[in-house]
Amino acid sequence: LAIDLQSQQKRWEFEAEGVISSSPALVDTTIYVGSEDGRLYAVDVTTGEKLWDILTGDKITSSPAVADGTVYIGSHDGNLYAIE
């Protein structure tokens, strides 16, 4: 949920398939966040539109890290994912 601080009005809302229990990572105009549905989502910071998602083998409760254009996320399936 994005809220305009001046007007206090909702700018946009993004609903994941599962609960989001971690903090997102922001790089340029893209928000990266994992969900307990096992997906890593990339969301446009301006519109709230989903840009893409990738399904892992289990829920994601950790926050993503981003370096050199690669998004890293751990999943409860025991894997560390590197998405370019």
Query: What's the CATH number where 76 sits?
Result: 2.40.128.630
Q: Checking DSSP bridges between strand 65-67 and strand 70-74, what pairing results, if any?
A: antiparallel
- pTM for the whole structure: 0.91
Which residues are registered as beta bridge partners of 45? none
Each residue's pLDDT tens digit, 13-38: 999 999 999 999 999 999 999 999 99
pLDDT at 1: 83
What is d(CA 24, CA 82) in angstroms, rounded to the nearest whole number? 16
* Other residues' Cβ atoms within 10 Å of the Cβ of residue 5: 7
How many domains does the chain contain in total?
1
Give the pLDDT band (50/70/90) at residue 4.
confident
Position 2 in a domain: no
**Within-domain flag for 45:** yes
pLDDT at position 40, please? 98
In a domain, 6, yes or no: no
